[in-house]
Amino acid sequence: VPVTMDQCIVHCDAVRRGAPNVFVVGDMPFMSYQISDEDAVYNAGRFLKEADMDAIKLEGGTRVASQIKAIVEAGIVVIGHIGLTPQSSGALGGHKAQGRTSKDAAMVVEDALAVQKAGAQMLLVEAVPPEVAQYIADTLTIPVFSIGAGKECDGQLLIVSDLIGQFQAFTPKFVKKYCDVATIITDAMKAYCADVREGKFPEDSHCYHMKDGEKEKFLALMKK
């Protein structure tokens, strides 16, 4: 939530420079689009003008339909995000699955339909039962991607730091860790610190020595 537009622009620009031929999406931060349609269009435009993004993503369904419509009408590709919306998780009772009762599921579907009607070209559904996500994917005409919403969608998404095990404090239920980078990094740093303390690093092979005969000349120069 504390992330600013300027911070997002800097990071997105770095990603674009590192991946010039990849479809890259700018994730609009909290309060960069909620206040008004005008703010939403202006900030969405910044992602394209200043960071060369191909599209933007924003969270919310019916409550941000107006903003989505305005951004799309400005000629910007929009990806919607419904279900568990992390930026407003406090209003949802925390980071927990959405749509687990029939009434709540109907509200998630309502959000999905609102996002599509507003003109979004793609939709991300997070932490929603697969039964609900499949219904949404079967009903909508735009691509539907799942992050913790089962495998019956058009595509899958996971946060890289989660799937490589970089962040250890909390792992969502829907994440599968494919490696344990945090442990690898921690072990490497511990070994490095131990080698430094014990005088094992650097070794001679890690050093740049003076050319033959230059050490003596150097010491002689220092005596003058």
Token pair listed for 4: 């600013």
198 belongs to the catalytic site: no
122 φ/ψ angles, rounded to the nearest 5 degrees: -160, 160
Q: Lay out the sheet containing 155-156: strands in order across.
A: 25-27, 55-59, 78-83, 122-126, 144-147, 155-156
H/E element, 118 = helix 102-118
User: What's the length of the chain?
Assistant: 224
> Of these residues, 126, 131, 198, 203, which one is catalytic?
126
For residue 63, give every residue at least 6 positions away whose Cβ sits within 8 Å of its Cβ, in sequence order, or none.
none
How far apart are alpha carbons 53 and 27 in whole angstroms?
Answer: 10
Q: Dihedral (C-alpha) 132, 136, 138, 144: value to the nearest 10 degrees?
A: -120
**CB-based contacts of 107: which residues, under 8 Å, 6+ apart?**
99
Cis peptide before 202 (omega within 30 of 0): yes
The residues that are catalytic are: 126
